[in-house]
Amino acid sequence: MNSRVNRVGIPTVAPMYVDDSQKGGFTPYAELWNGRMAMVGFAALLIIELLTGKGLLTFLQIR
C-alpha cells in the first residue's frame, strides 16, 4: 500500500519537517529560533514605544 494513504484510503499529509539533521529550512530547531527572535523583536518594539511614546514608524521617521 502507498505510504501516503492510510488504511481507510484517505491520503495523509506529507510531513513538514523532512530532514531533522539539517539546521536550516523548516526544521524544529529553526522554527524554535524563529519564535524566539520574534519574541525579542516584539519586546524591543514595546520598549521603544514605552520609552519614546511613539510608534515604530514614527520613531524611525518613516511616517
Domain that holds residue 34: 28-59
Please state, as a whole number, how many other Cβ atoms lie within 10 Å of the Cβ of residue 9.
Answer: 8
Neighbours of 30 (CB within 10 A): 14
Q: What was the pLDDT predicted at 44?
A: 94
Return the pLDDT at 38: 97
- CA 51 to chain CA centroid, nearest Å: 27
Residue 46 lies in a domain: yes
> How many domains in the chain?
1
pLDDT-based confidence at residue 1 (cuts at 50, 70, 90): very low
* 37 is a domain residue: yes
Please indicate, yes or no, if residue 53 is contained in any of the structural domains.
yes
Per-residue pLDDT tens digits for 4-60? 666 776 666 666 665 556 555 677 888 899 999 999 999 999 999 999 899 888 888
- Is residue 17 domain-resident? no
Q: Which residue has the higher pLDDT, 2 or 36?
A: 36
CA dihedral 22, 26, 27, 31 (to 10 degrees): 130
- Distance between CA 27 and CA 37 in Å, rounded? 15
Number of other residues whose CB lies within 10 A of the CB of residue 27: 17
pTM for this entry:
0.55
